[in-house]
Amino acid sequence: MDWESLRAEFPITRRWAFFNHAAVAPLPLAAQRALEAWARDVTENGNAHQADWVRRIEHVRALAGRLLNADSLDVAFIKNTSEGVGIVAEGIRWRAGDNIVTAAEEYPANVYPWMNLAERGVELRTVPLHAGRIRADDIRDALDGRTRLVTLSSVEYATGFRNDLDTVGGMCRERGILFFVDAIQSLGAFPLDVRRTPIDFLTADGHKWLLAPEGAGLFYIRRELVEQLHAVDIGWNSVVNALDFTRVDFRLKPHAGRYESGAMNVCGIIALGASLDLLLQAGIPEVAQRILEVTDYLCEKSAQAGCEVYSSRSHSEKSGIVSLSVPGQDSKAVSRRCKEAGIVVAVRQGRLRVSPHCYNTTAEIDRFIEVLRA
């Protein structure tokens, strides 16, 4: 892959060394052009070309299917990760005494919707992290005959630990337990195959590693489970004959499309599609390899500069997120110094969180290390 050519898609590199893709990513030029084309067309033509944009949305759905190795009909467009969590949390027909298992330090979007089920008698069980890691054995020990669902992030947002979804998903499938994955910190950066990995539900907004605008995300549901969930947020577009407005025919779409209840975020979805095109052309395995090369270099140079790297560097556990600290220095102060030097990082759980993408370079990492040494 010619990473320099891909880098030309990101004008942000002219001013910033941007290492905060685990928060909100910059848009590539392809996404900007898609947004501008939509805005120009709607400004000049209203909805005269609406059919063209509907076809474009279905093209993006097909791209999302390729990304996940899923039937595109099993993918719905949602406004954010939390909406996807809510579809499942509110859709499962819970019984008092059921329980859900998750990690103790999950991002709040993957915690609060499950906590909200307490008044229905549903218990949320959390397993501890060990040096930022989640042990599959701890999850196994938390399961019992009333466990209905296990929910995990593909990558932990603060530590960068990459969970073993194959092992946990297999464990759940063997026991008849549902497996939910918040994939926002890996989708677009690492391959994820829902046919190979036993995943029942998956959700991710596009504004991180998928390099898309906020408000345009993906939700996947295994087809066999569609009718088992109570459908929530139903609207005119949830039914089979959605465009026949003169006849009320309450037959829900037999796939993920039932969750696209009404008017959609067309501009956000087509921009997501432009970024998906870019990433799929580069190749997700190649993107993952490049990200790990850059983060390996980051960890090596950080350690040489006297920093403490908290994130795992084991091959199966490392991700695009590196959590580190500078001994004797406040991480927020270091982050401010970085920004003054044209470098964007974040602070999570008292440590610097550095999250470069495939278009970032080792030269940019060297700039970051210079600030740390200073």
Residue 29 lies in a domain: no
Residue 179 lies in a domain: yes
Statement to judge: residues 346 and 369 lie in one domain: yes
Question: Which of 252, 281, 310 is the last residue before a domain boundary?
Answer: 281
Statement to judge: residues 236 and 102 lie in one domain: yes
Residue 25 lies in a domain: no
Q: How far is CA 54 from CA 74, 218, 220, 258, in A?
A: 17, 17, 20, 16
Statement to judge: residues 116 and 74 lie in one domain: yes
Altogether, the residues listed in the chain come to a count of 374
Instruction: Find the CATH number of the domain harbouring 73.
Output: 3.40.640.10
Statement to judge: residues 249 and 310 lie in one domain: no
Task: Please return the burial class of 243, using the count of CB atoms within 10 Å of its CB with bins 0-12, 13-18 and 19+.
Answer: exposed
- What count of other Cβ atoms lies within 10 Å of the Cβ of residue 134? 26
The DSSP annotation for 272-301 comes to: HHHHHHHHHHH-HHHHHHHHHHHHHHHHHH
Q: What are phi and psi of 130, to 5 degrees?
A: -115, 105
The whole-angstrom separation of Cα 125 and Cα 104 is: 8
The whole-angstrom separation of Cα 112 and Cα 182 is: 13
Statement to judge: residues 228 and 331 lie in one domain: no
Residue 227 lies in a domain: yes
Instruction: Find the CATH number of the domain harbouring 330.
Output: 3.90.1150.10
Q: Report whether pLDDT(15) > 90.
A: yes
The whole-angstrom separation of Cα 128 and Cα 180 is: 18
Residue 50 lies in a domain: yes
pLDDT of 218 reads 98
Question: pLDDT tens digit string along 331-362?
Answer: 999 999 999 999 999 999 999 999 999 999 99
- Tokens 């474009």 correspond to 56
Statement to judge: residues 211 and 245 lie in one domain: yes
Statement to judge: residues 299 and 261 lie in one domain: no
| Contact between 6 and 359 (Cβ < 8 Å) | yes
Question: pLDDT tens digit string along 156-188?
Answer: 999 999 999 999 999 999 999 999 999 999 999
- What count of other Cβ atoms lies within 10 Å of the Cβ of residue 165? 23
pTM, entire model: 0.96
Question: Which of 233, 264, 281 is the last residue before a domain boundary?
Answer: 281
Beta strands in the chain, from DSSP E residues, in sequence order: 17-18, 75-78, 99-103, 123-127, 147-153, 178-182, 201-205, 217-221, 308-309, 322-325, 343-344, 346-348, 351-354
How would residue 83 be classed by pLDDT, with cut points 50, 70 and 90? very high
Question: Which of 281, 298, 314 is the last residue before a domain boundary?
Answer: 281
Statement to judge: residues 12 and 53 lie in one domain: no
Statement to judge: residues 178 and 314 lie in one domain: no
pLDDT of 374 reads 85
Statement to judge: residues 276 and 306 lie in one domain: no
Residue 105 lies in a domain: yes
Question: pLDDT tens digit string along 221-280?
Answer: 999 999 999 999 999 999 999 999 999 999 999 999 999 999 999 999 999 999 999 999
Residue 10 lies in a domain: yes
Statement to judge: residues 14 and 65 lie in one domain: no
Domain count, the chain: 2
Residue 26 lies in a domain: no
Residue 314 DSSP symbol: S
Q: Report whether pLDDT(131) > 90.
A: no
Its domain, for residue 143, covers 34-281
Angle between helices 284-304 and 362-373 (to 10 degrees): 30
Q: Average model confidence (pLDDT) for the chain?
A: 97
Q: How far is CA 159 from CA 116, 155, 166, 353, in A?
A: 26, 8, 20, 8
Question: pLDDT tens digit string along 298-314?
Answer: 999 999 999 999 999 99
Statement to judge: residues 44 and 98 lie in one domain: yes
